[in-house]
Structure 1
């Protein structure tokens, strides 16, 4: 994994500009995706989706894990009607809503905005088991996964191959996403009882190969990672410029060749937080609700001097 070490806000901006630059493929600009983590991958927080952090799932066969994911999604989807105005049109939308609300899924949260990723990398500084401050990191997806919208167009034309798919038009105005790419490493695994799964549906759970409500292609059937731009479910989505990476091997971390690591020195966290606040990339802007206002006031009043 290529690595850069950042010790200031300006150095981060320069690195993103000069080292990543403008990349073109087939005459089109390639959009980069960023992910901020308060813990580095080599410190034990691998680049994998949330469902991949439940080690006991490795004891299941691939078919058993697929069945479990489908059953959990079916249970979640059956409860949606009581809480949303518009039901999801397919498994992609349903799984994105589940991800947004904290259910472990095969989706990973990324953003097209490098400053938003920097916010999530530095907002809450961590310490190791010995009480020493930890460096954080921003990861850059330097591979070019196909996008769901492109695969869907191919499927409608009678052809689908994730490996051969050309990337969708970069820098589309339709690039929306969910807000969950900030990490909460303290989350405990949720427990789903067999009774809960048994009530998923009177007709039984879908098989992994059954088409979704529309669109045909299921997130459980992909043969490579896919970028998905989900629809809006809250004002946080556009504010955070988020996208989802659907992982076809959710129990495995991303390959090192696909990712560049920008290490953010812990010594720079306080200054970066202040600079991001000046640039309007902070709690109140990224979380346009009461939670964001409370977090913003907490920082401005109680944490501005680096005391947490």
Structure 2
């Protein structure tokens, strides 16, 4: 069970935690993810492709091949629906993620208020119908950024084959020390059956030679997707490419801020006042409809 880093019961308490507990130290960027249900309630921090248990029966190369095959099929249809032709598999996978295809990407944001919106916009219930607390997760492991890798401003990712035989190398910087988190849990190695070298081999000849495709990385990488959606820009969205997508994020990689369900309604009202709500975060007709639904029917407010 993950111990809560902070438990808050108001909008102001959340802002206080963000400003006092998560200063931007050592130039490290912080990323936030809001969830209507907490990880310990069964909503693990893992990408959508991990929600399919049958994939766990495949070896690592077999899963990589399946992901690449699905993306290739998706990409074959892209030109019919988009004006901009994606230049890399990273862009293609970001578009697929945006349109609901299960991928190894996880949605995060650089804006803590956007994360709070996703944590509180709809209060979830447990199996007994009781309202449950939500959470905002703060990523503190400081993963490399795709943009820095392309510009040569970060140490390059290990060769793709290493992922099948050894665990990812921990970052040299101690990202946990700044937050008082103890680094005591050993890094789990990949299951032995995943280390079998199958005959399937994927091409990494996308983008710069030294930069693998999303399916051949050996550590988690932050990706800022271009040309995908106005929603991503409005939400300050980034994607976390998970090198081992079938496993949840290690508890050492994040800290949790629990949002008590009794505060959800007041937080929603404050977020609306600050312009961090449906029509701003979803700049399309869906966002307008969600905002009108909130104003006219959920709180019986003014338009």
Which bracket does the TM-score occupy, shorter chain normalised? 0.7 to 0.9
Match in the other structure for 2:291: 296
User: Could you tell me which of 255, 259, 272 is aligned with 1:260?
Assistant: 255
Shift of 1:207: 4.3
Whole-angstrom CA distance in 2 between matches of 1:207 and 1:99? 24
Residue 239 (1) aligns with residue 234 (2): yes
Shift of 1:166: 9.0
Match of 1:71, SS state, is helix
Contact 1:34/1:113 (CA < 8 Å) preserved in 2? yes
Structure-1 separation of matches of 2:114 and 2:271:
9
**Mean Cα deviation higher: 102-111 or 229-238:** 229-238
Structure 1 residue runs without a partner (length 5+): 168-205
Normalised to the residue count of structure 2, the TM-score between the two structures is 0.82
How many matched pairs? 261
State the distance in 2 between where 1:166 and 1:96 align. 28
Counterpart contact for 1:150–1:165, Cα < 8 Å: no
> Tell me, which stretches of 5 or more residues in structure 2 are unaligned?
159-168, 174-199
Deviations 1:32-80 (A, max 9, x none): 0000000100000000000011111101111110110010000000000
Is 1:161 aligned with 2:154? no
Alpha-carbon spacing, 1:146–1:304, altered in 2? closer, same or farther (3 Å): same
C-alpha displacement at 1:304, in angstroms? Answer: 1.5
Distance 1:283 1:152 in 2: 34
Do the aligned residues in 2 keep the contact of 1:4 with 1:261 (CA within 8 Å)? yes
Instruction: Name the CA distance, whole Å, in 1 between partners of 2:240 and 2:49.
Output: 13
Q: Per-residue deviation at 1:221?
A: 1.1
Q: Who is 1:190 aligned against? A: none
Retained in 2: the 8 A contact 1:209–1:220? Answer: no
* Corresponding position: 1:248 with 2:246: no
Tell me if the contact between 2:24 and 2:30 (Cα under 8 Å) persists in the aligned partners.
no
* Conserved 8 A contact 1:110-1:245: yes
**1:214-273 CA distances to partner (integer Å, 9 max, x unpaired)?**
233211111100000110322212110000000000000000011000000000000000
Once the two structures are TM-superposed, the CA of residue 302 in structure 1 deviates from its matched residue by: 0.9
Checking the alignment, whether the CA contact within 8 Å between 2:125 and 2:132 is kept in structure 1 is yes
Q: Tell me which residue corresponds to 2:86.
A: 88
1:50 aligns with 2:48: yes
Tell me the equivalent position of 1:286: 281
Alignment partners' CA distance in 1, 2:218 and 2:279: 39
What does residue range 1-308 of structure 1 map to in structure 2 within 5 Å?
1=2, 3-24=5-26, 29-154=27-152, 160-161=156-157, 207-212=201-206, 214-216=207-209, 217-304=212-299
Secondary structure of the 2:46 match is coil
Alpha-carbon distance in 2 for matches of 1:122, 1:207? 43
Per-residue CA deviations over 1:177-211 (Å, capped at 9, x if unaligned) read: xxxxxxxxxxxxxxxxxxxxxxxxxxxxx942331
Q: TM-score, normalised by structure 1?
A: 0.80
| CA root-mean-square deviation | 2.1
Cα offset, 1:143, TM superposition: 0.9
Task: Tell me if the contact between 2:137 and 2:255 (Cα under 8 Å) persists in the aligned partners.
Answer: yes
**Structure-2 separation of matches of 1:15 and 1:149:** 29
List per-residue Cα deviations over 1:143-197 (Å, max 9, x = no partner): 1000112222339x9x723659899xxxxxxxxxxxxxxxxxxxxxxxxxxxxxx
| Distance change (3 Å), C-alpha of 1:248 and 1:297 | same
